[in-house]
Amino acid sequence: MSYIEKKTINGKTYIYFVKKISFMNKLFIIKKSMGINSSTINKEKYLLDNLESLSKEEFDFRRKFLKEIKGGISHHKNLPERIEIKSININNILEGKKCLQILETEFAKEFIFNSNNIEGSKIPPERVREIIDAGDTKYKDRNEVKEVKNSIIAFEYLKKSFKFNLSSIKRLYYILTKDLVREGNQSYPRGFKKEPNVVGNSTTASPEKVEEELKNLIKWYKKNKNKLHPFVLAFEFHRKYEFIHPFLDGNGRTGRLIMNKILLNSGYFPVIVYKSNKQSYFNAMEKSKEGKLKNYYQFMLEQADKSYNYLLEILKKY
């Protein structure tokens, strides 16, 4: 966040634009003179008028943290840098235009549609938008309508109350699946899975090992949250979580939300995995278990790039 700083020297009050950036336990400060005190000075206007230079200065600071991504997880060395500058621009434009609520709402429409449809929902995007904007829709499949409504509540829970512990993961799953029915008109079971399940061609954690493996994953996250770049941290957590597959169903939806909580905690906007890229997503995830991690990371970076393009297009309208 940025702020205005005033300093009086020899009876004159000088105004400075100041932005403090905390990233991976490092602090970077941008400080720019805005001239002598004036009623026309406006922090938001200054930020938008100087967007390119301010964003570049912040990017130059953050560039050094991209080394592990450029060398280790991306086939295209410029892709991580492109995403990083877009992320910085999104945050600066948001602060300048003060339209966070609008962007979060538009993001939720796109994220919920894609996340639910990846898991088999057929509800069209315009109906998802109608539910979010108006609170309901006449769409005939009321189970899928409820699924969207649950997703809205889950997203709010994620932002405001989710913690990295077992009870929060269970709570997130409960919110997402409350009052829904699965194939065969069966209710979603409560809590962690009681029977084995499979992802693609791979077995997942046995029911009796779920809690232990989730605890280990949470420990891994807490140990690495200031050591690994947030994209590496978020994508790797998601990959590990999906191979635990702690619930009988709903693992993809909970996993993508938790991945985005990691990004939000690190100052990034969340990422959409697009329904149109569903098969590539599943393939990349499956191959990652064979040791082909770079393809998986590359795919997720491409989804981040696509997501941030979408967000920037939304911001142009406001």
Q: Which uninterrupted H or E stretch holds 250?
A: none
Q: What are phi and psi of 19, to 5 degrees?
A: -130, 125
Do 34 and 156 fall into the same domain? no
Distance, C-alpha 198 to centroid of its chain: 26
Query: Domain total for the chain?
Result: 2
Per-residue pLDDT of 50-92, as tens digits, reads 999 999 999 999 998 987 676 567 677 789 999 999 999 999 9
> d(Cα 312, Cα 318) in Å, to the nearest integer?
10
Mean pLDDT rounded to a whole number for the chain? 93
CATH of the domain at 162: 1.10.3290.10
> Do 28 and 121 belong to one domain?
no
pLDDT tier at 243, thresholds 50, 70, 90: very high
Q: What is the pTM of this model?
A: 0.94
Give the dihedral sign, CA 111/79/225/204.
positive
Tens-place pLDDT, residues 109-151: 999 999 999 999 999 999 999 999 999 999 999 999 999 999 9
Read off φ and ψ for residue 49, nearest 5 degrees. Answer: -65, -30
Three-class SS of residue 8? strand
Alpha carbon distance 161, 163 (integer Å): 6
Q: What pLDDT, on the 0 to 100 scale, is given for residue 186?
A: 84
Domain that holds residue 207: 100-316
Does residue 153 sit in the same domain as residue 295? yes
pLDDT for the residue numbered 202: 76
**Can you count the helices (H) and strands (E) in the chain?**
13, 7
Residues 149 and 260 in one domain: yes
Whether 49 is covered by a domain: the verdict is no
